[in-house]
Amino acid sequence: MERAELIQALKDRFESDAFLGAASLPVFGEPEPVMHRVPMADDEIERRRVALQVIDDSEVKGCTQCGLAETRTKTAFGVGAPNARIMFVGEAPGHDEDVQGEPFVGKAGQLLTKMIEAGMGLKRADVYICNILKCRPPNNRNPAPDEVLACRNYLWRQIEIVQPEVIIALGAPAAQTLLNTREGIGRLRSEWHDFYPSGTTGVGDPIPLMPTYHPAYLLRSPDEKNKAWADLKLVMSRLGLPLPTR
């Protein structure tokens, strides 16, 4: 396009924006607004919110599909935006989550919130947070295979409804369950993997998945925080989120 044509096209565009009542005209050099959630119509967000609520209220809260139903106080289904770009998946509720009925609200949860807000520059409410298991295993032991099997379907449906652009698996049990592998988290982290929502590798469109260390592990091993931060930066770069300048 010639320079004169370009100027005319821009003039027309500005005039039509002004005519249509655009709040402000575009300014050259202004960065694209950062997309923290997937833009979508309010009624679609509401449809997703209700779909998640129905699974929680009518299935999860009264679930007796494994032995954890006998020892739990409350189930902790999931929390966050139904149109989140990022879904964090942890292992299972701990003591605080069991009491409050919400994932990641204890000490590990506070660190996760810091990673999301101070680290990634997002709001906790912009992402979706859940676990492999919806009930606390006694004494926070690792999830047993039969418990994972009984609970897995709830997570598959959460992923299907939210359709995140990226999944971050926190710790080995989450990464191993989602990727159907026995590989350790030290080897899995820092690389992109494919999560297949169908549960069958190679069928349907995969969701990119980044495994990283669980915040509870980072509280015990703070020297590893820089590795988790490196993993989160890979996610931010993939999603076009601005990296903090520090």
Please state the φ and ψ torsions of residue 210, each to the nearest 5 degrees.
-115, 115
Q: Which of 80, 101, 103, 119 binds ligand URA (CB under 6 A)?
A: 103
The single-letter code of the amino acid at 93 is P
Among 78, 101, 109, 137, binds ligand URA (CB under 6 A): 109
Measured from the CB atom, the residue of 95 and 238 that comes closer to ligand URA is 95
> Of the listed pieces 46-54, 100-108, 155-163, 225-233, which binds ligand URA according to CB under 6 A?
100-108
d(C-alpha 24, C-alpha 217), whole Å: 47
β-strands 128-131, 86-90: how paired? parallel
Q: Which of 84, 108, 162, 178 binds ligand URA (CB under 6 A)?
A: 108
CA-CA distance, 137 to 140, in Å (whole number)?
Answer: 5
Please check whether residue 212 is in contact with residue 169, taking contact to mean a CB–CB distance below 8 angstroms.
yes
Q: Judge contact between 227 and 213, C-beta under 8 A.
A: yes
d(CA 185, CA 224): 12
Separation of CA 30 from chain center:
28
DSSP 120: T
Q: Report the nearest approach of ligand URA to the CB of residue 7 (Å).
A: 56
Q: Binding ligand URA by CB under 6 A: which of 75, 83, 131, 177?
A: 131
Binding mask 211-230 for ligand URA (x = CB under 6 A): -----x--------------
Closest CB to ligand URA among residues 100, 181: 100
Contact between 175 and ligand URA (CB under 6 A)? no
| 192-226 CB burial, b ≥16 within 10 A, e <16 | ebebbbeeeeeeeeebbbbbbbbbbbbeeeeeebe
> Per-residue contact track with ligand URA, 70 to 89, x per CB under 6 A?
------x-------------
Q: How far is the CB of 90 from ligand URA (least distance, A)?
A: 3
Using CB under 6 A as the binding rule, whether residue 119 contacts ligand URA is answered as no
Total residues in contact with ligand URA, by rule CB under 6 A? 14
At closest approach, how far in Å is the CB of 233 from ligand URA? 22
d(CA 182, CA 173): 9
Q: Please report whether residue 90 would count as binding ligand URA according to CB under 6 A.
A: yes
CA-CA distance, 134 to 69, in Å (whole number)? 10
Least separation in angstroms between residue 122's CB and ligand URA is: 18
Tell me if 97 contacts ligand URA by CB under 6 A: yes
- Contact positions vs ligand URA (CB under 6 A): 76, 90-94, 97, 103-104, 106, 108-109, 131, 216
